[in-house]
Structure 1
Amino acid sequence: MCKGLSYLPSSYLERAKGMRVKLSHLAEIHHKQKVQDGKLLQDLESLLSSKIGLQAFRGFLRSEFSEENLEFWLACEEYRVSPSKLQKIKASSIYNQFINPDAPLEVNLDAETREALLGVMDSPCADTFNEAQQRIYTLMAKDSFPRFLRSHHFAEAVKAY
């Protein structure tokens, strides 16, 4: 006959109860984190700070042939925190890669912003690309990001969380 759990020492039962409480607490934390992560993908700023979200958004932009916007934004983020002794070299690289009219990954900026950047390329500082970066961020937020939220790339990213 089965005696149930009554034959086990009380210390085992107490430990099992403690483990059950801890496991249920961990499961609750995991569920809350998944809910928060799903919400993180719903705004561009949070998406860009998420490794999975960033990969999914990059894949989506690549499928739309507009990955250069994200690459420019990321290059500006890296530039902003680079040592001042490297800023002139990095600024020139960013300009040649993304801003110059013949750039291989030219981003869509208005002529006024391009001219302003050209004017400060001789003496760049940490915030040289702030305005251009903000314009591209706004473009992604208003144009690409809403389409991304309706894409299979987004659905896959949510599953990955």
Structure 2
Amino acid sequence: MCKGLTTLSATCLKSAKDIKHKISFLLQKPEPHAADQKEIKEKIATAAAKRVPDAAEVEKWKESFSHVVSSETGRVVFTSFLKSEFSQENMDFWIACEDYKKTPLSKLASTAKQIYQHYVEADSPCEVNLDAATREKTKQEVTNASLSCFDEAQKMIYTLMEKDSYRRFLKSKLIEDLCQIETCNVLEKKGCDWSDNRQVLAGGA
């Protein structure tokens, strides 16, 4: 039996591979709300799906919300959590705003209109939770289509995610599963065989 195996729960050995598959599948298949976001999401998913985040990265996510949003994998994982709470549009909007700041001047007006109509306008397909004053101010800002026209709305949604969803994310089963995967990965690196370990724990030869 591998060193440390006796301290690892039978549940971990039984389910870790299933959890790995679930997390990998989750990372590979973010579902964009808008057609104009599809290419962006595919690029993010491709990068994130190359690996399950290691313990050090997950620990960074626990330190602050800024570490989550600054990581491509973190954004994908957090978006998947938001999806489970039916609030995926918040991260989608935040990412759209970040990408908007890199938009060529010739496309600012059309891109600003698309983002506004998709996320900000009342009763829009993926309406984010903004107060009336911020929504109206953003509407006026969009008419000028400056690089900063979504700044206030983006900041409000960032704060909403940080103060609300992020706190639940830290206590979620998703984070628990990622930590469990890392624990099991340590044993794998030591040469443990999953099927043999299960037999040992089950009392087999």
Q: Distance in 1 between matches of 2:174 and 2:145?
A: 37
* Distance in 2, Cα, partners of 1:81 & 1:157: 33
Shift of 1:160: 6.2
Which runs of 5 or more structure 2 residues have no equivalent in the other structure? 1-53, 183-205
Aligned to 1:110: 131
The CA distance in 2 between the partners of 1:158 and 1:88, in whole Å, is 44
Find 2:85's aligned residue among 53, 60, 64: 64
Query: Aligned partners of 1:157, 1:86: CA distance in 2, in Å?
Result: 40
Among 108, 127, 131, the alignment partner of 2:148 is 127
CA distance in 1, matches of 2:176, 2:73: 12
Contact 1:57 / 1:153 at 8 angstroms: preserved in 2?
Answer: no
Residue 37 of structure 2 is aligned to residue 52 of structure 1: no
TM-score in terms of structure 1 length: 0.74
Kindly indicate whether the alpha-carbon contact (under 8 Å) linking 1:117 and 1:128 is maintained by their aligned counterparts in 2.
yes
| 1:143 alignment partner in structure 2 | 164
Unpaired runs of at least 5, structure 1: 1-33
- Identical residues among aligned pairs (%): 38
Partner letter of residue 100 of structure 1? E
115 and 154 in structure 1: CA distance in 2 versus 1, 3 angstrom threshold: same
> Alignment RMSD, CA only?
1.9
CA deviation string 1:120-140 (max 9, x = no partner): 222111111011000000000
2:121 is the alignment partner of 1:89 = no
2:69 is the alignment partner of 1:37 = no
What is the TM-score when the length of structure 2 is the normalising length? 0.59
Count residues in correspondence: 129
Distance apart, 1:113 and its partner CA: 0.6
Counterpart code for 1:38: V
Contact 2:55-2:179 at 8 Å conserved across structures: no
Kindly report structure 1 stretches of 4+ aligned residues shifted beyond 6 Å. Answer: none
Aligned partner letter, 1:148: F
CA–CA distance in structure 2, aligned partners of residues 157 and 134 of structure 1: 29
* Alpha-carbon shift at residue 63 of structure 1 (Å): 0.5
1:152 aligns with 2:173: yes
Deviations 1:59-100 (A, max 9, x none): 110000000101000000000111111111110001000011
Would the alpha carbon gap of residues 157 and 48 (structure 1) be closer, same or farther in structure 2, given more than 3 Å must change?
Answer: farther
CA contact (8 A) 2:169 2:175 kept: yes
